Structure 1
């Protein structure tokens, strides 16, 4: 979904930062975006689970671009495990670090700067798992549920100049879905009102709504984009 969002922002004239663990992937997307739309695209390699990396990312972005108008927390990690009792401490900690700790740090530091400046919008990509947790993804669900608390708390902390919202994403066909247990997609789709899982680009409309003045009175909200999950 991240690549789709980057293209959507760049297509509307925004300078973008492409930040992820694999720098070479970020560089490829940044080059493609810059050549296609004529905007500045800054690739940054960083590990969202690292507090220090989050801080370095913020310093790099402000040094290069001067300001941040929109932050999208899009990191996600949901590894498979044999059973709940076999979830290791390291796996649990890693899932929480990527899905909750990193977004907390980035939102805290960038949100503070936004509030001291001209304001902005912060959007986190959550999951329907946060309110409908499944046994195969409980650590992930718990971490994403934590985003709900952060969303309302940060909205209060940094309002009125900063809006903070979360998208509760349903079953999107992304790199995470590539690791779903066999048969899970076929099991889920009959429970979805639209009868299918989502393609990555189908989150873009909601992201743009939350990023722009179209959502000027929306903050502290968790919006479902799940195709009508029953």
Structure 2
């Protein structure tokens, strides 16, 4: 059989039996949208960049932006619509700090480089992109860590909601998505990651991280495969 049960396998699981289908009971399943925020989709005009090195770095990120706009955001929107139509809990996590100077951030978000972003919780860059904005009383947690569990009361919220299976989507696959998935798995939640609803900075990082987390921390599948298991056309 081809498909999610045999795809994205690492050497650890080459000889493992095919996994069972996840339990996607609407009463005990939740969707978690991770860090699809304005800051990660904003880009300057390429020609405004003063150096060739900056323009080259800009070009490295172009496939990520194409994937986000052409695949990831439309697929997350489709999954959100399907879950909402069935009354399934939809939750959101976003990176933001409670202070204007970011002094409450975890160490990993203060180190120099890509992760060192100052995102006060009320500022526009820290908000979830409008296309995927939470609706009604859908729950949003603010985290100053990579894992959405470590830096919030999300575990308690999920327990109070009676959730056993968490479907994870968002960015970045090899950073906050992976950290959240590992935390959920360690807390004995069953986790599904939708590979075409996630993105890493590069396709190579995306493929490698999916291979690493698949079958031990989660089941990796595509949106269509999960929706088919749910009986969604």
TM (normalized to structure 1)? 0.41
> Which has the higher relative contact order, 1 or 2, with Cα contacts under 8 A spaced 6 or more apart?
2
Structure with greater proportional helix content: 1
